[in-house]
């Protein structure tokens, strides 16, 4: 079974880069992308991916609004914040709204890719209880 990932970021270049990098991880499938807050909420609700990668600054109400909305309707979704705004107040707010992971685009993109690899390998072992 593949790990289904959705990418929400206002930068087409970044979405393409992430889709390429994460798509190279065996067993990972990029199921959708969005550029705006409303588009992200609509598509995530329809596609129900396993993991959503969210930027904080996006056209519309922003990634934190997407996070809050999605976690209400799909609490089991793994939410990863991937942002240029790694400030403590954003980390705290995102954690309060249900973010599972938080990465700084400038310094932690490898960490995001490693996380996806770990989630994929954990998913293959999920037949046994934690």
For the chain, give the percent of residues with pLDDT over 70: 95
pLDDT for 12-62, tens place per residue?
999 999 999 999 999 999 999 999 999 999 999 999 999 999 999 999 999
CATH code at position 50: 3.40.50.2300
Residue 95 lies in a domain: no
Residue 43 CA to residue 89 CA, distance in Å, equals 28
Tell me how many degrees the CA angle 27-33-39 measures, rounded to the nearest 5: 145
In the structure, what pLDDT confidence band is assigned to residue 126 with cuts at 50, 70 and 90? low
- The whole-number average pLDDT for the span 72-101 is 97
Q: What is the pLDDT of residue 59?
A: 97
65 domain residue, yes or no? yes
Q: What is the pTM of this model?
A: 0.93
In 3-state terms, what secondary structure has residue 21? helix
In this predicted structure, the answer to whether residue 129 has a pLDDT above a threshold of 50 is no
- Number of compact structural domains in the chain: 1
Angle at 46 between CA 62 and CA 24, to 5 degrees: 80
In-domain check, residue 13: yes
The answer to whether residue 50 sits within a structural domain is yes
In a domain, 118, yes or no: yes
56 located within any domain: yes
**In the prediction, which pLDDT does 122 show?**
86
Q: Is 94 domain-assigned? A: no
- Structural domain contains residue 93: no
Quote the domain boundaries for residue 82: 8-87+102-124
Average of per-residue pLDDT across 63-91: 97
- Compute the mean pLDDT over every residue in the chain, rounded to the nearest whole number: 94
């Amino acid at each position: 079974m593949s790990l289904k990932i959705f990418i929400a970021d206002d930068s087409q270049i970044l979405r393409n880069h992430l889709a390429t990098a994460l798509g190279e991880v065996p067993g990972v499938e990029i199921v959708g992308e969005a550029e705006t807050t409303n588009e992200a909420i609509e598509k995530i609700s329809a596609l129900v991916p396993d993991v959503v990668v969210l930027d904080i600054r996006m056209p519309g109400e922003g990634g934190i609004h997407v996070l809050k909305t999605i976690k209400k309707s799909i609490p089991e979704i793994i939410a990863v914040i991937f942002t240029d705004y790694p400030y403590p107040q954003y980390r705290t707010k995102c954690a309060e709204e249900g973010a599972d992971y938080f990465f700084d685009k400038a310094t932690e993109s490898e960490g995001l890719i490693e996380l996806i690899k770990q989630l994929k390998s954990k998913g293959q072992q999920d037949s046994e209880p934690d």
